[in-house]
Amino acid sequence: MTGRIVLREGDLAAERADAIVNAANSALVLGAGVAGAIAARGGSEIQAECDRHGPIAVGEAAITGAGRLAARHVIHAASMPPGGQASEESVRSSFRRALALAREHGCRTLAAPAIGAGIAGFPLRRCAEVLLEEARAHLDGETSLEEIRFVLFGEPAYRIFEQVSDAARIAAQMARLAERRGGGGA
């Protein structure tokens, strides 16, 4: 893995990054939650660009400009239909597509929220597991991304992502130790 994963508590709409990920609905309507914060800070031009793009399938992602945000792009990861719920499959697929769009547009930094864990109702711990797994897998492949930053709203969300990240790191270390021992070591 050449890139790094960073966890931060904060306001995603205030992040300086090549792209930020919007926890979107498939109609690309910037309503409440993360999307509402992006619309409020970024301006109406983001919604106008979403309207021109049109709806996308649940599990897909679309890229727009970032209006007045500190980012260059907003990648809208559609983990739910309007008013609906996110599933593990839709969260995984939409984030995977968002990562691919970031790579296709040469982004070096990407900031993302806990996609699907807000108004879309996906369990936060499972969200952390899925998103961190997808981020690691992406960074292990060919990518322009040097940093994937998860910007989490509130300390509880940050702490859950931190626990999941720590558990994955410990599991990887234990696997390396077991491999060394099994490979003729002490």
CA dist 10 to 15, 79, 86, 113, 169, Å? 9, 21, 23, 10, 23
The pTM is what?
A: 0.92
The whole-number pLDDT of residue 169 equals 85
The tokens of 99 are what? 């990562």
> Domain of 166?
4-182
Nearest 10 degrees: CA dihedral of 68, 74, 80, 86?
Answer: -110
> Which residue is listed with tokens 């410990």?
170
Per-residue pLDDT of the chain (186 residues; tens, 9 = 90+): 579 999 999 999 999 999 999 999 999 999 888 999 999 999 999 999 999 998 999 999 999 999 999 999 999 999 999 999 999 999 999 999 999 999 999 999 999 999 999 889 999 999 999 999 999 999 999 999 999 999 999 999 999 999 999 998 888 889 889 988 886 544
Q: What is the CATH number of the domain that holds 12?
A: 3.40.220.10
Q: What is the torsion angle, in degrees rounded to the nearest 10, for the CA atoms of residue 72, residue 78, residue 79 and residue 83?
A: 120
Please give the full DSSP string across 148-162, using - where no structure is assigned: EEEEESSHHHHHHHH
Q: Which residues pair with 65 in a beta bridge?
A: 73
As a whole number of angstroms, the distance between CA 96 and CA 52 comes to: 23
| Number of domains into which the chain is organized | 1
